[in-house]
Amino acid sequence: MRKFRQNSYVMICFAGLLFVACRNSPSRPEQALSGLEIAGASQDTYSGATIQLAAIAIDDNGDRVDVTAEANWSVTPEDLAQVSPTGLFMAFDRATGSVTVQALLRGQAASTEMAILTRATDMAVRPVQGRVGASGAQPLRAVANLQGGAHRTVTDEIMWSVEPSNAGVVDNDGMFRPATGASGPVRVVAEFQDLTREITVEVQPVFENRFPVVEIPEATFVMGNDNGSQNQRPAHPVHLSAFEIGKYEVTNAEFVAFLNAGLASGDLYHERDVVRGNRGEYLAQPYISFFFRRAGEPPEQKQVISFEDEGFAFETGFSDYPAIGVTWYGARAFCEYYGYRLPTEAEWEAASRAGQQFEYGTADGTLSHDLANYSGVGGADIYTWLSPVGTFPANPFGIHDLVGNVWEFVSDFYQFDYYSHAPMNNPTGPAEPVSFFKGTFGVVLRGCAATGRPLPGCESSRRQQAGAFPTILERHAASPSSFRVARSLHR
Ligand SMILES: [Ca+2]
């Protein structure tokens, strides 16, 4: 309690009652002061925190002198915090509230307000491993566990820093934006009170014009078919914003390049017959499966991508064939890696309708073996199985193989009666997976395949479910599916 006696002593000095005694104190070379300041204070501190304060005197010559050890410190109220004679501020454990810290010296006084907040005992920062395109932004979020058990989002109170320091910035709202030219892993450090957490954000290079795409202008078309199967009814107007969509289905060469990039970056791993995601949204989700190619079978009948010698490869001669064995997760991961997404079901049908309500997504809207590779052979369709992408003529939008070759994933979850309540503008399917059969869930497939039923349902309006989500892998293995990329156009 020596501190308080000192404070009292100085308070009395300050009051002038013992002014002469103070001035004549032999232990201090007396010099008149023209000002006193407190340095090092923080407006916000927390229970249990210690902060080194400094008292800075300004003498008659205008010089600034550190008088921390000479000053007499006090805190009001006294039950929340104290300051040692050496200027070390300490907020008491579990104390919260506002305090006034005061320093006194030779008739001069300085004070500062400090708020003591609840101490955080733990903190989580998400995502642990983010991924962002070089021109994009990654929102970060921090939640603190507070003394007493409460949680609080503290994103906007974090002291953020990145390493390397020129790789980008995190703004006050926790949005990480890569610097121009940055790529690779960036370490983001979040500091809050005395807690420090680190996460990693992978900045991916921009792949401009990586895939041949066509632009589909903003338009309204009629989606569905009142004469089709139940799940295509009712036909209804849909308005879509402008978007672009791949002219071709994603090929083996393209998908293998993605798999090998993911292997190198640690985004995926190979496990027996399955490739799985190793981080982020697709953690442990299957990307592609190999197990439906049995030993001794010719590759043209089955999966042609394989894992050999620590890398992925495809059978010679199949580089331009659509990648199959891909799962919905793998298709999405591929698209996002290159800055795209899967088309929505509505976008896919609009692409197939070609602005002319085409019944089939072919060059002229009719179906024949000269225009598409579907079940059976005839005319230009010499294929009993897949054909290279782009073998058949494009539709009026410039898109190939919407009909046949291989079923294509879209982004929507499958819901049998979705059209009865779908929004008119930019529908994206049910927000959550919807059970369609005995508790199983699916996503939508479009476009029909080169194999399968003799009379394929290849209409623009045809809807097929791929299930069962989330165990889509097994169902998928029996039904080769591919996909094409899409991207919204904001102009
Ligand atoms: Ca065929």
449 C-alpha to ligand 1 centroid (Å): 9
SS3 for 233? coil
Q: Supply the pLDDT for residue 2.
A: 39
Domain 120-204 has CATH 3.40.190.290: no
| C-beta separation of 450 from 387 below 8 A | yes
Across the strands, what pairs with 467? 442
Residue closest to 33 by CA, chosen among 104, 103, 108 = 108
Identical fold, 33-117 and 120-204: yes
483 C-alpha to ligand 1 centroid (Å): 19
User: What residues sit around ligand 1, an ion, with C-beta below 5 angstroms?
Assistant: 373, 381, 383, 450
376 C-alpha to ligand 1 centroid (Å): 5
387 C-alpha to ligand 1 centroid (Å): 8
**What tens-digit pLDDT sequence spans the chain (491 residues)?**
333 344 433 343 344 433 333 343 433 456 778 899 999 998 889 999 999 999 999 988 889 999 999 999 999 999 999 999 999 999 999 999 999 999 999 999 999 999 999 999 999 999 888 878 777 788 899 999 999 999 999 999 999 999 999 999 999 999 999 998 888 889 999 999 999 999 999 887 666 667 999 999 999 999 999 999 999 999 999 999 999 999 999 999 999 999 999 998 888 998 877 889 987 778 888 888 876 555 666 666 677 888 887 789 888 889 999 998 888 889 999 998 888 999 999 999 999 999 999 999 999 999 999 999 998 899 999 998 899 999 999 999 999 999 999 999 999 999 999 999 999 999 999 998 887 766 677 889 999 888 766 566 899 999 988 865 545 544 454 456 899 999 998 64
Cis peptide before 127 (omega within 30 of 0): yes
436 C-alpha to ligand 1 centroid (Å): 30
Domain ranges of the chain: 33-117, 120-204, 213-488
Q: At residue 329, what is the residue type?
A: Y
374 C-alpha to ligand 1 centroid (Å): 4
The CATH fold of domain 33-117: Immunoglobulin-like (2.60.40)
378 C-alpha to ligand 1 centroid (Å): 8
Q: Supply the pLDDT for residue 13.
A: 38
Q: Supply the pLDDT for residue 192.
A: 95
Q: Supply the pLDDT for residue 119.
A: 95
396 C-alpha to ligand 1 centroid (Å): 22
380 C-alpha to ligand 1 centroid (Å): 9
182 C-alpha to ligand 1 centroid (Å): 46
386 C-alpha to ligand 1 centroid (Å): 7
Alpha-carbon span 342 to 335, nearest angstrom: 6
Alpha-carbon span 7 to 395, nearest angstrom: 88
210 C-alpha to ligand 1 centroid (Å): 29
Q: How far apart are the first and last CA of the chain?
A: 70
Q: Supply the pLDDT for residue 17.
A: 37
The order of strands in the sheet holding 486-488 is 213-216, 243-246, 486-488
Q: Supply the pLDDT for residue 309.
A: 74
405 C-alpha to ligand 1 centroid (Å): 7
CATH number corresponding to 213-488:
3.90.1580.10
297 C-alpha to ligand 1 centroid (Å): 20
Q: Supply the pLDDT for residue 60.
A: 84
What's the full length of the chain, in residues? 491
